Structure 1
């Protein structure tokens, strides 16, 4: 009798352990693939502009020489790959609290910078946002990320309203109290009353003294991107 009970207990324990293993594996898969929302697409000039760009003029539009400032409709944030309990996910956080300025001469941006309020960056997870503001970025001490041009950006020509041109930008990125040189491709688009600029800056976390999170079943890749879509108005 006692032996039979022990055998039953063993079977129940084995079945229980197997059930837990299945739940630990299948649970995150089901949540990520069927419950959790898909991450937003990368910021793009295909996104609707905040200012009116519906003008159909094919002409060059207003002269762009002079001073410009980041206006409404601008966004910036991060995109990084995570491993969540063995499942690959993409984490995206964004904010509209972006400021900046740009000086244009002819077809070149001769100076400019933009600043992102990191404490206002939000993703689809309050827990992730708490870790981002706290142990990851320490936004109380380092509340902002800043990019500043160190070389002119040559767009080649002034596009007509609605048209896009590409260029390469070089400058200095300051994050978490550390500054590094960066270069990346960007796109610019004329609107009826200004223009928009879109790009993605690759970031290796160790270069900025940031330790990629790795705790509680969550691991983050060592590299990510700062995405931005800036709408410029006359200063």
Structure 2
């Protein structure tokens, strides 16, 4: 057992003895709720009759969309206690949409990793430290889309569509190709996008954050919650 884990375990044990399980819940628990940008009740455009809703014609969709400040990216890790979410609330980027020729579309998103937070400062310091994201040296993570698959040509106002985005996810200057399973909804000039993919700690040269009292799975789910405007 290394010194860091020993000190950490002693700290948790002291919290359990002195402050009971409420202290443990704070140390090990989840404090971030993932916010949806597409309503859970939203209907897929594939299930809506063509004449029941006005189509969002290409003229409304085609163009340069910019990621808005309300956008977020989440990292989720399942531990022996529960799934812990880490929120990235500083996201920027653009998406060039071309409904007639999706192969010409381009998209990129950049997350400021220095402001990631889980609601627990001690855990946040570990996430940003040298054994994990090393945000002092690598302050950004970037996803650049290479291709869109099953991108719909017809959209309906207020209905969600499904597609996949395959591209390069770069973290700590390590680039890997990943695929985000995605949904989007166009409504009143705003485009909301949700997507998810799974990577591992080892993919990006990070150590699994096991502790003496807490085990963590190796998978990390990356979730997009993006709001874009022309």
Class of the TM-score when normalised by the shorter of the 2 chains: 0.7 to 0.9
Aligned to 1:64: 61
Distance 1:211 1:43, change over 3 A: farther
- Structure 2 match to 1:112: 107
Q: Which runs of 5+ in 1 are unaligned?
A: 1-19, 48-56
Q: 1:98/1:155 Cα in 2 relative to 1: closer, same or farther (>3 Å)?
A: same
Tell me the matched-pair count: 198
**Which consecutive aligned stretches of 4+ in structure 1 deviate over 3 angstroms post-superposition?**
27-33, 35-39, 41-44
Report what 2:85 is aligned to.
Answer: 92
**Aligned residue in 2 for 1:220:** 216
Q: CA deviation at 1:214?
A: 2.0
CA contact (8 A) 2:34 2:74 kept: no
- Structure 1 residues 36 and 190: alpha-carbon distance in aligned structure 2, compared to 1, 3 A threshold: same
Please report the TM-score for the alignment, with normalisation by the length of structure 2: 0.76
Q: CA deviation at 1:37?
A: 6.2
> In 2 relative to 1, CA 114–153 (structure 1 residues): closer, same or farther, beyond 3 Å?
farther
Cα distance in 2 for partners of 1:171, 1:232 equals 19
Alignment counterpart, residue 141 of structure 1, candidates 127, 137, 147:
137
- The structure number with the bigger radius of gyration is 1
CA spacing shift, 1:99–1:145, aligned 2, 3 Å: same
> What is the match of residue 50 of structure 1?
none
- Matched residue SS, 1:63: helix
Q: 5 Å matches for 1:149-228?
A: 149-228=145-224
Instruction: Report the CA distance shift for 1:38/1:96 in structure 2 as closer, same or farther (over 3 A).
Output: closer
Query: 1:218 Cα deviation (Å)?
Result: 3.2
C-alpha RMSD of the superposition: 2.8
* Deviation of the 1:193 alpha carbon: 1.1
Unaligned residue ranges in structure 2 (runs of 5+): 1-12, 41-51
